[in-house]
A = this chain, B = another copy of it.
Amino acid sequence: VPEAVAIGIDVGGTKLVAATLAADGGVLRRLRRETPAGDERQLVGDLGDLVAELGSDLPVGVGIAGLVTPKGAVRYSPNIAVYDLDLAAELGQVTSGGVAIVNDASAAARGHHDVVMLTLGTGVGGGVVVAGELVLGTQGYAGELGHLIVEEGGRPCPCGNRGCIEAYASGSAIGRAAAQRLATTDAPGALRDVDPLTGKSVTLAAREDDELAREVIEEAGFWLGVALAGLVNALDPEIVLLGGGAAAETAPWMVPAASAAMRQRLLGPDFREIPPIELASLGDDAGMVGAGLLAAERAGTI
């Protein structure tokens, strides 16, 4: 059995996933809990329990959606309903191995040379790698690609604005779009009997050849492609990576639609290489593993 070099934790909108990691990023032992959204003390307590169970002498890396300072304070994480929580300090009390708190999507994008990465989950996060280095930005807040506006005045986004790509291509947005379609059509379909409608239930229906479910996912992919065109025009990456559960599940319908919409909107598509859109190899684990390995690097255990 390989030795554990770190604990990686992904704090998502609906679940906490924690695991001990080998030096190559392999997952050794994995634990899951529901995210106690909106209850900061409970969140800190749950994370402490997970660390205690996995090994309180290991470096701990946490990936979490939102604005995270370089020192590991979570300033603004609306999907988890956490505001101004010094998570690095809190978790420093439950492990002797060192703590790294990073934006989940930024953590997931590590290890590539020139990358635009979007993570599709409850929300949409992102990470940008330029010349092999993760772009942190002046305050450490770079990579919030989910709030690129693709349709000013468009669909309401959980961030309070309208028209952000998160309002079109997140798992939650796919669920909402399906509900909207069902409410405005008489078309039959597997989704009629599903409650609640989520990205997951829409994906399951798409797998069973439900036409409406596939159209909803393709529409999300179209909008994703609109956002990606802007990002590829701005940053000219070698590859576009998609991470997060909603991307992995919807890929067969989402990715072709996104590729077509992106290509059509790139400047001079016939005069350039078009970057491929691929699933991040670690899929839903990318943020957790990226954060854990970052913690191990900082602690010097790898």
Say how far A70's CB is from chain B's closest CB, in angstroms.
11
By size class, the interface of chain A is 35 or more
| Chain A residues close to B by CB (< 8 Å) | 66-67, 75-76, 78, 83-84, 113-114, 126, 128, 130-131, 133, 135-145, 147-152, 159, 161, 223, 226-227, 229-231, 233-238, 264-268, 271-273, 275
**Contact of A237 (CB < 8 Å), options: B114, B137, B150, B159:** B137
A152 contact set on B, CB distance < 8 A: 150-151, 223, 226
Say how far A30's CB is from chain B's closest CB, in angstroms.
30
Q: Are B223 and A147 in contact (CB under 8 A)?
A: no
7 A-B pairs, CB-CB below 8 angstroms?
A: A67-B272, A135-B236, A138-B238, A142-B234, A144-B233, A145-B234, A151-B152
Say how far A146's CB is from chain B's closest CB, in angstroms.
8
Q: How many copies make up the complex?
A: 2
A-B pairs, 6 with minimum CB distance: A137-B236, A76-B268, A148-B230, A142-B236, A144-B233, A76-B271
Say how far A164's CB is from chain B's closest CB, in angstroms.
8
Distance, CA A261 to CA B137, complexed state (A): 21
Besides the known contacts A76-B268, A138-B275, A161-B265, 13 further A-B residue pairs in the complex with CB atoms under 8 A apart: A67-B268, A128-B234, A136-B236, A137-B236, A137-B237, A138-B273, A143-B236, A144-B233, A145-B234, A149-B227, A149-B229, A150-B150, A151-B151
Q: Are B271 and A145 in contact (CB under 8 A)?
A: no
Among A78, A150, A227, A236, chain B packs the most CB atoms within 10 A around the CB of A236
Q: Are B229 and A231 in contact (CB under 8 A)?
A: no
A66 contact set on B, CB distance < 8 A: 268
Distance, CA A46 to CA B235, complexed state (A): 32
**Contact of A236 (CB < 8 Å), options: B140, B148, B223, B231:** B140
Q: Are A84 and B271 in contact (CB under 8 A)?
A: yes
A143 contact set on B, CB distance < 8 A: 234, 236
Given contacts A145-B234, A152-B226, contact A273 B75 (CB under 8 A): no
A231 contact set on B, CB distance < 8 A: 234
A271 contact set on B, CB distance < 8 A: 67, 75-76, 83-84
Say how far A172's CB is from chain B's closest CB, in angstroms.
17
Q: Are B142 and A76 in contact (CB under 8 A)?
A: no
Among A136, A149, A273, chain B packs the most CB atoms within 10 A around the CB of A149
Distance, CA A126 to CA B268, complexed state (A): 16
